[in-house]
Amino acid sequence: MEPIKIAIDGPAGAGKSTIAQELAKRLKYTYIDTGAMYRGITYEVIKRGIDINDQTAIIELAKKININFVKGDLYIDDVLIKSEIRSNDVSQRVSYIARIPEIREIMVNAQRKIAINQNVVMDGRDIGTNVLVDAQLKLFLTATVEERSRRRYQELKEKSVITSLKEIEEDIKKRDKMDEERSCAPLVMAKDAIKIDTTEKTIEEIIQQIIYLLGERIN
Ligand code: CDP
Ligand code: CDP
């Protein structure tokens, strides 16, 4: 039987990774956080002191390093990468790197390879439109920018990351704009995706809705 693919896209803070992760756990599918891959390469660029505008050096680095998921954890050249990819430094730079076509090609090839022989829930910006165009279920999660910023602020506060609501809202707005306006695989809803506004919904309500939609498609 062909593996099942669930594609979840949407802007920052819409609830993609929380929902995708929990859904994968319940369905016993593999969860792939593609944003973590773009964050991972950005983290390496910063760590190695590479100029964010030096696209040649960034592409060379992406070809050289090995980004991999093992049991849901991200590894770069066999080193486990955790919360360091969620820092403000990474968040502020990631969309500059994610708009480079050669970087996207490397990431997309790796993402498609993972989905060849297992059931996956994959979240990102271009999963339904580009990475897994034949996914059996495509979802596009949204929420107001105020709600998304509030959620992210709350999340970082709980992890004792020093930041402000204003700073987060500015970062999210800027990233959304760059992701939506880039020429290569921009953030846009796939024609065959189902839109879910998460603003006033609980995580459990959304998961139940998705499980219902999946049942309609694969049973
Ligand atoms: O968690 P959050 O929504 O803040 O972002 P993320 O999913 O970790 O993604 C970080 C950034 O990576 C996004 O703002 C995009 O610039 C980029 N990204 C992308 O271009 N394509 C994807 N499939 C996933 C992420
Ligand atoms: O992956 P993405 O950036 O789309 O969002 P996320 O990191 O999954 O969600 C951001 C925060 O919002 C998390 O702390 C979630 O627990 C929270 N959230 C929520 O409170 N209510 C929802 N309906 C969805 C997410």
- Decide: helix, strand or coil at residue 139: strand
Quickly count: other Cβ atoms within 10 Å of residue 35's Cβ: 17
Whether residue 17 has its Cβ less than 6 Å from ligand 2: yes
76-104: average pLDDT: 94
pLDDT for the residue numbered 219 = 76
Ligand 1 closest atom vs CA 178: 16
Please state, in angstroms and rounded to a whole number, the distance separating the CA atoms of residues 131 and 105: 10
Q: Give the global pTM.
A: 0.96
Handedness of CA 183, 188, 193, 198 (dihedral sign): positive
pLDDT for the residue numbered 211 = 97
pLDDT for the residue numbered 27 = 97
Query: Domain 5-212 belongs to what topology?
Result: Rossmann fold (3.40.50)
Please state, in angstroms and rounded to a whole number, the distance separating the CA atoms of residues 181 and 33: 22
Encoded amino acid at 196, one letter? I
Q: How far is the CA of 15 from the centre of ligand 2 (A)?
A: 3
pLDDT at position 161 over 80: no
The mean predicted confidence, pLDDT, of the chain is 95
What does the chain come to in residues?
219
pLDDT digits (tens, 9 = 90+) for 28-46: 999 999 999 999 999 999 9
Please state, in angstroms and rounded to a whole number, the distance separating the CA atoms of residues 164 and 38: 24
Write down the domain spans for the chain.
Answer: 5-212
pLDDT for the residue numbered 72 = 84
Categorize the per-residue pLDDT at 159 as very low, low, confident or very high, splitting at 50, 70 and 90.
confident
Residue 121 · residue 6 · CB < 8 Å:
yes
Please state, in angstroms and rounded to a whole number, the distance separating the CA atoms of residues 6 and 210: 10
121-139: average pLDDT: 98
Categorize the per-residue pLDDT at 162 as very low, low, confident or very high, splitting at 50, 70 and 90.
confident
Q: How far is the CA of 54 from the centre of ligand 2 (A)?
A: 33
Categorize the per-residue pLDDT at 172 as very low, low, confident or very high, splitting at 50, 70 and 90.
very high
User: Which of 151, 173, 210 maximizes ligand 2 atoms within 8 Å of its Cβ, making it the mutation to test the pocket?
Assistant: 151
pLDDT at position 1 over 90: no
